[in-house]
Structures are given as C-alpha cells and as structure tokens.
Amino acid sequence: MIESGQAPTQAAVLELRNEQVVVREAYVFLDEKRLLLASELLRQLRLYQALGEELQALQVRARNAVQIAVMHHGLNGLQVYPAKSLTGVEFKYSTRNFMGVELVETGLAIETVDAAVTAANPSASAEHCTRIFRDILERSAVLAGISGNLHRLLAEYRVTERRSRALENIILPELDQALTEMTAHLEELELEDAIRVRLQSG
C-alpha cells in the first residue's frame, strides 16, 4: 500500500489505482470462496444430521434387540455368546481438495465375518443384535469422516470471512480515501499551476 505522506504524483495515483484493482479482485475471490464454503458446509451438515438421525433410530432398535436377547438367553448367557471377529473389517477413506480444504470420505469394508466359535445356544435374537450393531459401526465410520470435514470447513470459512471483511471494511476504504485525497491534491496543484501561468502571461 502507498505509505501515508507520499508525494502526490500521477505515478502514485496510478500505483494506487492498480493496487485498488488487485485488492478488489482479491475481495471478490474471497467472497466467492466464502459462499462456496458455506454451501459445502450446509451440504455436509445435512449429511451429518441425516446419519445422526439414522444412528439414533438404530440405537433404539439395538436397545430393544438387546432386551429381547436377554429375555431369551438371560444376562449371563448373552455375555458369553460368541462375539463376531473384526479381522475382515477394513477402514477405508478417500480425500479430495475443496477450496484448499481436505475433505475425507470414510467407511468400513466389512466382509462376512463369523464367530470364532459356534454358539452353544444360537438364536435369531442374538444374531439380530449383531446385525444392528454392525449397522451402527458402519454408519459411525461414515459419520467420523463427515465430522472432521465440518471442523475443517468451518475453520477455513472463519479465516476466509475475516480476510474478506478486512478487505471490505478496512483496506478498500483506506485505498479509496487515499486515492480521493491524492487526486484532489493533484487537481489543486494543477489549478494553481494554471493560475500562475495565466498571471505570468498577463
């Protein structure tokens, strides 16, 4: 930026105007980036809310399924029911760049996994519990990625908002004022020169 107190010249005015153009272009870019970030934030938030609602419904189903399984096996019987193995489960993710923010899509690749040992008293109610908790696990993995995206997008949005507002409310007004004052001063100097020439010629 042109320093205060710089001599008002046509070159200084031209430099100020060039700087004004650059700053306005930067402001337009940041303002557009802010809108795009807000749009992506809302999209990710809708995904997060939809998955959250699915998880809440699954948790209710899981609680009911466990109650039914406890009634069938008893608490001790359900506690010793063979657990499913997680050796075939793989956490997968992919990344993409959105306006300088790394967005991640996460999920679980779950193959058909069996219990390490066969249940002595297998039941449909216990297997139903297994399927519901598997669904909870899968959706939680997806939700984890979206949660991280929201944090990163919000942080970038706040930074972009501050920079955009600084250009709009501080830098651009200062440039406009400096340009106005310098232009007015040059016009006064030109008017004085014109009067001086006229007086000398008269």
Residue 112: the pLDDT is 63
What integer pLDDT is reported at residue 130 of this predicted model? 87
Mean pLDDT value across residues 29-39:
96
Helical H segments across the chain, by residue range: 10-73, 75-79, 124-166, 172-201
pLDDT, residue 2, reads 43
For residue 1, name the pLDDT band (cuts at 50, 70, 90): very low
Instruction: Name residue, tokens 């930026």.
Output: 1
10-201 domain in CATH 1.10.287.3240? yes
DSSP state of 169: I
Residue 191 in this model has a pLDDT that exceeds 50: yes
Give the residues across from 105 on adjacent strands.
94
Write down the domain spans for the chain.
10-201
CB 113 within 8 A of CB 88: yes
State residue 83's pLDDT score: 79
Digit-coded pLDDT (tens) for 89-131: 888 999 999 999 999 999 998 776 565 567 778 889 988 998 8
- Tens digit of each residue's pLDDT (9 = 90 or more) over 63-95: 999 999 999 999 888 888 887 777 778 889 999
pTM of the model: 0.78
Mean pLDDT score, 150-160: 97
Tell me the pLDDT tens digit for each residue of 161-185.
999 999 999 999 999 988 888 888 8
Residue 93: φ, ψ to 5°: -155, 155
* Inter-residue contact 29 to 145 (CB < 8 Å): no
